[in-house]
Every structure is written in structure tokens, then in C-alpha cells.
Amino acid sequence: MKADYDSEGDTIQIELEPVRQVGYGEDVENGAVVVSVHEGRPVMIDVIGTKKHDLETPLRAAAERYGLDVEALIAIARATLAAPNRPVQLEVGARIAA
């Protein structure tokens, strides 16, 4: 998973899967999050206005709607906010059963 925070635009773009072109985008949380979909799969998440909105609530909504790993989404969003205007990559493994 790759992400980048554009500090001037105050937008985080999280790439879930590399694709050449997305099919369409869906507004998930009243303009705070847009999920781009390709062939029925979420491939990109745009978090808009991170300074105005709570970061976790819209990511939780997107994760619930598309069956995504909410902890990984929040982790990469926080990491990219800590390193603005630079790409961040996060590798997440599967959970180990207890």
C-alpha cells in the first residue's frame, strides 16, 4: 500500500492497488473520502481536508463499506501526515490467529 500527503491540497491519496485507470469514484463520507473503483475493487482512497475533518471516521467508513483493513489504512494515513509531500509505503501482513 502506498500513500502521499499533499500538504498544499490537504489531501491524502492511498493507493491500494496499482492500476492504469480507475473506473469511477464513490463519495463515502460526505466529501471527506472518495474511493476509486476498478472492475468492482477499491484501488485508491482520497482523504480530503484532513485538517478540517477527523481522519479516522471517514477511513473507518470506507473500510467497512469495502471490507478493507481499517488499522492499516489509519496507520498509513498517519505515517504520510508525519512525512508530508513524500511517498510512504506500508507493507501489511496477514493477522496471525491467537
pLDDT (0 to 100) of residue 98: 64
Cβ proximity of 3 and 13 under 8 Å: yes
Cβ proximity of 30 and 62 under 8 Å: no
Sign of the Cα torsion 64, 13, 50, 84 reads positive
Question: pLDDT: is 23 or 7 the higher one?
Answer: 7
Cβ proximity of 7 and 85 under 8 Å: yes
- Mean pLDDT, all residues of the chain: 91
pLDDT (0 to 100) of residue 37: 94
